[in-house]
Amino acid sequence: MGVAPDAETRAVLRADAVPIVVAAVLGAVLVAVRLGAVPLLPAALGFVLLAAPLAFLDARLHRLPDALTLPGYPFLLVLLIPVAATSPAAWLRAVLAAALCAGGYLLLVLLGGAGLGDVKAAGLVGLLLGTVGWRSVLAGTVFAFLLAAGWAVALLVLRRAHRRSHLAFGPFLLGGALLALLTQA
């Protein structure tokens, strides 16, 4: 039995339906063109379709709801079956990368620099990028922090934020993963 989205989550999904669909379609086209017909394609497309609403939700609500992150695990695992069939080592690496990414973000939670939604999303990122390789996992992590840093600097320069402002990290985490997939796969 899954976790149902709360009213606030449903409201954002309704209000931002058009940009979410546009982002998902654009991301899916980029991934399909870049990867072609490979065993990873179903999972990569599934990740994009999951990441688009998550990024919008975190940008608006500063949280990544369990109603989307938790079902993302079995969803991606099923879509990774073609990878497991062709390369069991890549599938195992994906599971290990998911655990390591989630563990790394859990450490950030304990240090006060992330939320539990980021932990769950990081596991999904590790699951996807781990199939490509450790270099992709590292690239996705670096890209996420570089994108967030660039956005934070822009907000500071434009005086739209100050040093103590909170920044939703999910869009950068998910965007960094997509960027790594497009450049590393």
Would you state the pLDDT for residue 50? Answer: 97
Q: Please state the length of the chain.
A: 185
Residue 34 carries which side chain, given as an amino acid letter? R
pLDDT at position 148 over 90:
yes
Q: In the predicted model, what is the mean pLDDT of residues 103-116?
A: 92
Q: Which residue ranges make up each domain of the chain?
A: 7-184
pTM equals 0.92
Would you state the pLDDT for residue 138? Answer: 97
Q: Which of 62-76, 87-101, 150-164 has the lowest mean pLDDT?
A: 150-164
Residue ranges of alpha helices (H) inside 87-157 are: 88-110, 116-132, 134-157
3-state helix, strand, coil in the chain (%, to 5): 80, 0, 20
